[in-house]
Structure 1
Amino acid sequence: MKIAFNQATTLKSSTLYDDLRFCEANGYDFIEIRIDKLKEYLIDHTVEELKQFFRHSHIKPLSFNAIEFFTFQPDTTFNLMKEDVRIVESVGKEIGCDLVVVVPTFDIGDVTWSKIKEETKTRLHEFLTLTEASNFRFALEFVGYPHCSINTLDGAYEIVKEVSNNRVGLVVDCFHLYAMNSNLALLNEISKEQIFLFHIDDAEDIPAGVIRDHQRVWPGDGVIDLERIIKLVQATGFDGPASIELFRPEYWELEPEECIKQGKAKTEFVLKTLQIKVKN
């Protein structure tokens, strides 16, 4: 299993330019590029510079992260999100990245599950139509908070099945599985083709339904049963990387390179302890 870095882990302390250099220096295989960080990068740099970096580096782009809260939005807001999709589709074509994460909306009130499914599928189909020429892909990420409209693996998987398009798949995130007690056994039913991204992280010993992003910790430093999750994911045949994604303010206070270095060391240790081969 290769290792990727998600820029949320250095969200408040670094830039895309620096994260690329530090991830390359510390032997990462992939990076998930935050869309806000990409836009900042393009103020002083060009897409061609980014393309040349990846052309001459070991590290490669894994995804763009993320189009957030794309459901239950007024058309004017959603049209701006479509513009962001066009941007990452265009940049992705140049740098060899065909995947963007999409995150459902929070705090939608008393809306039925049928309506949530209908809305989510409608908006996903709009994204698919927009990117039909490029076959750009969309990874639906459920968020394990009670007030997120899609907060379990069960719900996200149901929608992906109903969309039934090979350009729409799942983000499987260890924290979000834990945070709302998702049914891990469901991973036995999911095919490798339906898992587009795997996020590795851990969590403090805070109850499901109460825990939040800032209580994520390095893989192996918390209470999540990473062994069970990783082995279930691998049993599907999924052979993608484990991408480190944390939103912990304490880690944002570290020097970016130290944070990136620690993340790699912690993740490698966990994978090797579980006798999962770390690919180079």
Structure 2
Amino acid sequence: MVSLGLNQNTCKNKDLIEFMDFAQDFQGIELIFENIEKYIINNNNIEIRDILEYLETYNLDLINILRLEDFSLCSDSKFNNEIIPKLKQMLNFCYKLGCYLITVSPSIESRDIPEWRIIRRTKRKLKEIAKIAYKEDIKVGFEFNNLPNSSISTLSQAKDVLKPLISQENLGYIIDTFYLSINMTKIEELKEIINQIYLFQISDAKSNFEYKSSDVKEEFRIFPGKGRFDFQKFFKLIKEFGYRDYYSIELYQNECTRNIYYRFFEFNKII
């Protein structure tokens, strides 16, 4: 049996504790950094240690805190005065909640910037982030995405960013099957980086739909196994490649029904 998690974006209509209660069938969860902050601010009697107690009560691992965005192409001023302080607070939450992974995502950028420059700037800032996280024994998962104007939108580009940084041992990939599906990425392309993949986020994309990067929306996510992505092949190959860590379901349609956990195994019986 695989370790299965649930991403908080799946249940946007639930607050932090309601989400944990809903997710108790799972082995772990991914929490949104801003939602943790908001819950503490809005509940004067709640402290970060209380959230840890809820996690322990529901027997849930906190597998990931997401996400640090717009770090790669922002100004140095914004990077130093906004991105780094947010990073340090995310690391603080990780330390107090027993989490060992954060997600970072590339900038959304409409300007026409040469790809080589995007890669260079992303590498430089990602290396700095990883070094700060390393001191706290936290892993940094880089997640490319295919949203409109994403500066790093393919697995190939993500490899160009991370390959030169392989010596940074706490830096790796978070791979989302939604974007693999949209980009028509071959599963075999994951083999060479399998030991650097910290987490697979899983959802499907509609079949018989022509996706254009300018039109892609998170709302297009559908339940794993109900769309165009070959999950049977995916789970078979990923297991053969040697991956043994978490898979986390990420939907954007408020499909917060009690059967998410069991529906997943019903549609994906091979695992």
Tell me if both proteins adopt one fold, taking TM over 0.5 as the criterion: yes
Distance 1:158 1:10, change over 3 A: same
Partner Cα distance (1:236, 1:84) in 2: 35
Partner Cα distance (1:270, 1:68) in 2: 32
Displacement of 1:146: 5.6
Give the paired residue count.
262
Candidates 207, 210, 221, aligned match of 2:210? 207
Name the SS for the 1:66 alignment partner.
Answer: strand
Runs ≥4 residues deviating over 6 A: none
Contact 1:178 1:208 in 2 (8 A): no
- Equivalences for 1:184-263 in 2 at 5 Å? 184-191=187-194, 193-205=195-207, 206-209=209-212, 210-248=215-253, 252=254, 259-263=256-260
The percentage of counterpart residues that share the same residue type is: 24
Instruction: Please say if 1:68 is aligned against 2:69.
Output: yes
Partner Cα distance (1:93, 1:32) in 2: 15
Name the SS for the 2:72 alignment partner.
Answer: coil
Contact 1:7 1:32 in 2 (8 A): yes
Partner Cα distance (2:14, 2:160) in 1: 36
Displacement of 1:244: 0.6
Name the SS for the 1:231 alignment partner.
Answer: helix
In structure 2, give the amino acid aligned to 1:29: Q
Name the SS for the 1:83 alignment partner.
Answer: helix
Name the SS for the 1:217 alignment partner.
Answer: coil
In structure 1, the partner of 2:16 is: 16
In structure 2, the partner of 1:128 is: 130
Q: Considering only aligned residues, what root-mean-square deviation do their CA atoms show, in Å?
A: 1.7
Distance 1:260 1:93, change over 3 A: farther
In structure 2, the partner of 1:91 is: 93
In structure 1, the partner of 2:105 is: 103
Displacement of 1:197: 0.8
Contact 1:28 1:264 in 2 (8 A): yes
Partner Cα distance (2:220, 2:38) in 1: 27
In structure 2, the partner of 1:178 is: 181
TM-score (norm 2): 0.90
Partner Cα distance (2:257, 2:162) in 1: 32
Partner Cα distance (1:219, 1:7) in 2: 16
Structure 1 runs not aligned, ≥5 long: none
Name the SS for the 1:70 alignment partner.
Answer: coil
In structure 1, the partner of 2:117 is: 115
Partner Cα distance (2:246, 2:16) in 1: 20
Distance 1:261 1:134, change over 3 A: same
Contact 1:181 1:208 in 2 (8 A): no
Displacement of 1:130: 2.3
Displacement of 1:222: 1.5
Displacement of 1:155: 1.4
In structure 2, give the amino acid aligned to 1:34: I
Partner Cα distance (2:205, 2:165) in 1: 31
